[in-house]
Amino acid sequence: MSTNILAEPPAGSGLKAVPGSNTPGLVQVMKLRQDPFGFAETNRQKFGDVTFVHVFGTTIVSCAGPEAAERILMNKDRAFANGPAWGFFIDKFFHRGVMLLDFDEHRHHRLILQQAFTPTILKGYMQEMQPMIMNAMKQFPVRDVLLFNEFKQLTLDVALEVFLGLELPKKEADKINKAFIECVRAGVGLVRADVPFTRWGKGIRSRKVLEEFIYSHIPAKRAKETPDLFSVLCHAESEDGHRFTDEDVVNHILFVLMAAHDTSTITMSQMAYHMAKHPQWQEKAREQSLELNPELGYDDLGKLDVLDAIMKESLRMCTPVPAQPRMAVRDTEVNGYFIPEGTMVQVPNLSNHYRDDIWTNPFAFDPERYSAERKEDKAHRMAWMPFGGGVHKCIGLYFGQMEIKTIMHHLLRGYEWTIPDDYVLPMDYSALPVPKDKLPVTIRRR
Ligand code: HEM
């Protein structure tokens, strides 16, 4: 690996040039996909925390560590934008989703979206989803199952009901599910053109399927208010009386469904894996769930502190959104390094969660690190950051945690699950991190 620099800093600025490797992009992508931790660590040892790589047909400056994360995500001087950075990966598939908007326009749309995530509305969602989840759990397969697939199906059903207020026949729900998967996987495809059978090509076709599906339901949603996100977005108004257009509604719904779906499935799969690998934690979490009623109330969520610690640790060890890209919209700096206008930077959430200057024994599953005595996650405001930070911080973080805990609560009460002693979950890091084998487990009714 030879050292090169990204760009010469302006004379007299006192800034340093970003070092990095000019190794061709394809080689870097392969290394990154195979072993993201090894890749990040090798680069860090050779070049430091701020370093560039050529990947996905562009150059990205990775800015590791909590200070860099704070600088970029809090973005006090508005030097970084989301749209051109996330847009590079997903604009074709999640055009004008709120995460792709910037500055005043982002604020305007986010304030309207926020109306669908107030505590009162969240309590309503919880009431809607609880019977669905309880019912699904009663019919949970008691045999060897691919747990990732089961969670995925369940979160999609919840999303369709709670966000869209629609009950779809299985065939149509499967079609929508497939279209989402294709859109999510498309952004990091190696071929970035509408070529049949490539990830990108499939993503473009899937976006059309999803758009037609949402557009077809808008007239009914505009006509009558119902307790779901789709309806809220059709009726919500900003202070100056502005309403989302049909196009806005489609773009936001598709983005939120995408943002809610895979992230929660990944988190639950990780939690289930760690609880199978460390059955003492499964038992501890079950004990707490058994102390509560089967039907979990909104106020009970805070009582599940063992499950909460397991969730936090799972989110640390496998952050569903492994990096947050941004584009420098003018010449700027990160940690004293010169970042020229037009440079794509990224906050590497996943590898930040393995820094040994913050986390003791970072590769060990250790939910006690969040205890009041240790509080490792509070070492820095950006130490534990699976939900990001700043104005784009995850809008669904309470919804996501509520859904995850409710599902796990019912699973723990009704079932035990195991994996062979020597089993290690094989991960696919080529898009969002998912288990390659869909997490096979043996389920027994309790
Ligand atoms: C464990 C589950 C989840 C994780 C780890 C997660 C993670 C994230 C992260 C890291 C971001 C910030 C991206 C950036 O700034 O570049 C984000 C944004 C977002 N998330 Fe989540 N998310 C989760 C669940 C959800 C759910 C359930 C919803 C919807 C109900 C949701 C909706 C959104 C939206 C709309 C944004 C964009 C916010 C904005 O740009 O203003 N997420 N999420």
For 168-207, what is each residue's pLDDT tens digit? 888 988 888 788 778 877 766 667 778 888 888 998 999 9
Ligand 1 atom with the shortest distance to the CA of 110: 41
What dihedral angle (degrees, nearest 10) is formed by the CA atoms of 76, 40, 1, 24? -80
| Ligand 1: centre distance to CA 248 (Å) | 18
> How many domains would you assign to the chain?
1
The mean predicted confidence, pLDDT, of the chain is 92
- Strand 337-339 with 332-334, pairing: antiparallel
C-alpha 393/C-alpha 161 separation (Å) is 25
| Ligand 1: centre distance to CA 36 (Å) | 21
Query: How crowded is the C-beta side of 264, counted as CA atoms within 13 Å?
Result: 30
For 155-170, what is each residue's pLDDT tens digit? 988 888 888 888 788 8
304's CB contacts (< 8 A; 6+ apart) are 285, 288, 289, 292, 405, 409
CATH no. for residue 419?
1.10.630.10
Strands in 58-63's sheet, in edge-to-edge order, are: 3-5, 19-21, 50-55, 58-63, 344-347, 324-328, 80-81
Ligand 1 atom with the shortest distance to the CA of 385: 10
| Ligand 1: centre distance to CA 416 (Å) | 30
Domain range enclosing 64: 3-445
Note whether 307 and 282 are within 8 A (CB): no
More confidently predicted of 2 and 325:
325
Q: How far apart are the first and last CA of the chain?
A: 54
C-alpha 209/C-alpha 205 separation (Å) is 7
* Ligand 1 close to Cβ of residue 321 (< 6 A): yes
Q: Which mutation among 394, 395, 401 tests ligand 1's pocket best, with the greatest number of atoms within 8 A of CB?
A: 394
pLDDT at 93: 87
